[in-house]
Structure 1
């Protein structure tokens, strides 16, 4: 992965982290406590959901690149 695409991915990850941290803060949730109380099935489902979302974002970004190329 080149520097440009890794930097492009870093920004959405930072935004997501800030949003999640803010939601936890507003609801008085301790992330470490949640990690320790999750079942293995919940962890597995969460990992699968993240992978699915990453795939959808990649497909969306690929579609944007294709559209940009055809618009030029």
Structure 2
């Protein structure tokens, strides 16, 4: 069976830093930034990108639809 690598893209200007995506990430991929966006919110980012499996849990719980998930099958 092919392995799936995932990646997320966070729209940092839409993210309001609610932190809902961090605890639902079983792979501990997401953290909150120490920097802020134009609205003054700390935004989510991929702090451990190599661990992402593209499960989409983060995108499902995001109330602002600020997270897009991509999945790529790799041989392995």
TM-score normalised to the size of structure 2?
Answer: 0.22
Higher relative contact order (CA 8 A, sep 6+): 2
* The structure with more radius of gyration: 1
Higher fraction of strand: 2
